[in-house]
Amino acid sequence: MYKLLLCTRYLRTRYIALASIISVMLGVATMIVVNSVMAGFSSEMRERIHGILADMVLEAGSMNGNEDPEWQMRKIQEVAGPYIEAMSPTVEVYGLLTLRYGGQYMPRPVTLVGIDPVTKAKVGTLVEHLENYKPALDENGRVARPAEFSRDEPPGWNLPRTYMEYRRLRAQEQKAMPDDDEDDAGRNDEKAPADPSDLLKQLNDLAEENHDEVLGALMKARLYVGSQIISFPFPGKNGEKPRTVWMCQPGDDVMISTVSAGKSPEARNFHATIVDVFKSGMSEYDSNLVFMNLEELQRIRGMIDPPDDPEHGVRSVTSIQIKLKNFADAKLVADRLQAAFPPGFYQIRTWEQKQGPLLAAVDVESTILNVLLFMIIAVAGFGILAIFFMIVVEKTRDIGILKSLGASSRGVMSIFVSYGLSLGMVGSGVGVVVGLLFVRYINEIERGLTVITGRKVFDETIYYFPSIPTRVDAFTVTWVAAGAVAIAIMASILPARRAARLHPVQALRHE
């Protein structure tokens, strides 16, 4: 009973114990906040990466591709059919997208990916990022324009109604313009009316006789373009949010340059129509990827044999994207496919392996931060060690009195160990509460700091997140709190052993 009494008294009356509690609290709270933010960033980033990539990809050994994707998919189905949910053939090649803005031609290096949008929607979440499959919102978060297409219908290469009408209007206006090269070169600088209702009013005055002519003039090559390829952020004034300036939009034509397949690659230049814009939130994708209709890309690159029979010719693809029923079976499926397809001509990788360096960098950064932050708690432990040694020296005569009254060495030692346990538990408990509250209101705190400092703390134009993402893991919170308590206990063991070894007579003579 005396052990609990003394431990409680030291905890309540000694203000020096408050410093130990605060140091433990700050260490625990900091680790919880940093781990939650890092886990939020990592989780959000992985979801966005995985949203564009399939679970697994069977890739050809060269950009020329391998023939007969139907045979490849049948082989995959034979080898790992029970684990496969969907497949989609693709062609991937580097290219150059050239658009016209402000009277200048602006080339953009891109990765051109030929897809079938219906099967692609089954192996990934590309449709979730297409602008015409989600409503446009105003500044207050209200729906300013409903989605052109429903999420339930598969995506296709048809232009949305608004943009088809937009093209009709532009074609009508083009007839009234002088037919010269300068006017043709500058037509991409024209913009559609900002309000679709104004556009529809003008369309009501157009003759229906030109409808088929305009639709027939649309390019066969259709594109889904990354948002950052055809736009740039324009800084706001007086602390306003930056606005996005679009250099072109769906319905506009751009020039695509790439290389042909075969022994001696040749340049291939063609015009294509932007059908939709996708925004995944990953700068690596939004500033680089351009999706195109697969059949047209195969025809342009000469990936059909014989080339004069596109309907019955054998086509080539550079990869087969695979969606698994359960990603936990990825290693088993990869091993089976590696054994079924000849090495060198084919390569099997999961989406994590394709993005291995990026994911590994995030994991290493998180590990280093945890080590550095845990050293903060270790510093608090050394503070507890110093405080306890001071208490032992100060209370030497009291320890001698306790021992002379019958207290055992184990009992004296347990007083200081229990005291360290109490400091650790109180500091960890308060730190967990403070850390979780900080995580819960982190975006409100960020906005407050922005107002106080006059500088944006979390800039969405840099991180591509509308708010600071967080993810609290119960296991992480538990081991951080338990680790802090363990450090506090270990810091109290040495002073406790010294107190336990004191001889009663020598302790009573201590000045």
Domain boundaries, the chain: 2-46+359-508, 54-159+220-354, 162-217
CA distance 316 to 304: 7
Classify residue 172 as exposed, middle or buried by CB count within 10 Å of its CB (0-12, 13-18, 19+).
middle
- Before 233, cis peptide (omega within 30)? no
Percent of the chain with pLDDT over 70: 73
User: What pLDDT is attached to residue 186?
Assistant: 41
Please check the confidence at residue 188 and state whether its pLDDT lies above 50.
Answer: no
Residue 214's pLDDT band (cuts 50, 70, 90):
very low
User: What pLDDT is attached to residue 460?
Assistant: 66
Q: 437 or 506, which is more confident? A: 437
User: What pLDDT is attached to residue 220?
Assistant: 78
pLDDT digits (tens, 9 = 90+) for 463-473: 666 778 888 88
Rounded to an integer, the average pLDDT of 386-410 is 66
CA distance 475 to 299: 54
Rounded to an integer, the average pLDDT of 187-195 is 44
Q: Give the DSSP per-residue string, 409-447.
A: HHHHHHHHHHHHHHHHHHHHHHHHHHHHHHHHTHHHHHH
The number of residues making up the chain comes to 511
Please check the confidence at residue 342 and state whether its pLDDT lies above 80.
Answer: yes
Please check the confidence at residue 264 and state whether its pLDDT lies above 90.
Answer: no
Rounded to an integer, the average pLDDT of 245-265 is 86
User: What pLDDT is attached to residue 200?
Assistant: 44
* Averaged pLDDT of the chain: 77
Please check the confidence at residue 256 and state whether its pLDDT lies above 90.
Answer: yes
